Amino acid sequence: MHSTRDNTSPRTTKMRIKVDVQADQPSLSWEDVHGPARAVVYRLLEEHDPALAQSLHDEGWHGHPLKPIGITSPQFKGAPRKRGVYTTSQAGSIWLGSPVPEIASALVAALARRTEIVWGAARLPIQGFTVEVGTPTPAQGVVEMETATPVVVRHDGRELLPRDEHFVERLQHNLTHKADVLGLPAPRGLRVLEAGPRRRFSVRGAPRIGAQVRVAMEADPRFVDAIRSWGLGLDTVQGFGWIR
């Protein structure tokens, strides 16, 4: 499909959506933690704007292959700890969003008509959702960000962990590319302040390896707001790199 959208820099905002859900089963299979995320996003977009969904899927956004969408895997408060099992609870949430108002509005409109989210083999009844809409603050300088899901970064076909050589370089490259997509100044001085343990998930039969991180960077406040609705690193549409 050929997109008719122009190539001017898109307007950006911070639009983050928290969807409150319950689980219909005591645990998710590991393949269903991150595996269904991309399909969930595209189903929501297709319900409201099929042309937008198709254009994003086939072409990305404004001539760039990146998709400016973020989502988390389902997060469950109070889930019982059980070694080797991704347990659930009746107090779950899925966060998603986009720095592009057109995309974010389509997600909100689709969710308003939904009573549940089918997440792999699980059915997650929706208890309600809230929308955070922000405008850039005038302050500019060093900002810290912490992720709720692992960050995926690759170099020469290998997925890197925060302590690996080239991790900061490749994450900086990813953020610079996202800034270019959004028509905003790129951040500078990226540093990893803290990193969580190595996590490995299966996504459509392929491994995804990463870790949660806390980072600092000097960034334009408009970019800070935008990236909080998108995420750090690769595969954000698959549930990785969401910022708390």
Distance from the Cα of residue 176 to its chain's centroid: 17
Residue 110: per-residue pLDDT: 97
The residue behind tokens 């720095």 is 99
Structure confidence by residue, pLDDT tens digits, 115-129: 999 999 999 999 999
Q: Greater confidence, 202 or 230?
A: 230
What is the rounded average pLDDT for all residues in the chain?
91
pLDDT of 86 > 50? The answer is yes
Q: Which amino acid is at 168?
A: V
Q: Kindly report the pTM of this predicted structure.
A: 0.90
Residue 4: per-residue pLDDT: 32
Q: Which residues pair with 158 in a beta bridge?
A: 155
Structure confidence by residue, pLDDT tens digits, 55-84: 999 998 888 889 999 999 999 999 998 989
pLDDT of 41 > 70? The answer is yes
pLDDT of 6 > 70? The answer is no
Q: Greater confidence, 140 or 101?
A: 101
pLDDT of 1 > 60? The answer is no
Residue 126: per-residue pLDDT: 97
Residue 102: per-residue pLDDT: 93
Confidence of residue 14 (pLDDT cuts 50, 70, 90): confident
Confidence of residue 138 (pLDDT cuts 50, 70, 90): low
Residue 213: per-residue pLDDT: 98
The CA-atom distances, in angstroms, between 142 and each of 58, 173, 194 are 36, 18, 16
SS3 96: strand
Residue 64: per-residue pLDDT: 86
Question: Structural domains in the chain?
Answer: 14-134 (3.30.70.1890), 141-238 (3.30.70.1900)
Q: How far apart are CA 97 and CA 1, in angstroms?
A: 24
Q: Shortest CA distance to 162 belongs to which of 236, 223, 215?
A: 215
Confidence of residue 13 (pLDDT cuts 50, 70, 90): low
The CA-atom distances, in angstroms, between 156 and each of 34, 165, 191, 212, 220 are 23, 12, 21, 21, 30
pLDDT of 10 > 70? The answer is no
Q: Shortest CA distance to 155 belongs to which of 198, 194, 209?
A: 209
* 171, 232 Cβ separation under 8 angstroms: yes
Task: Classify residue 141 by burial, with Cβ atoms within 10 Å: 0-12, 13-18, 19+.
Answer: exposed
Q: How far apart are CA 217 and CA 210, in angstroms?
A: 20
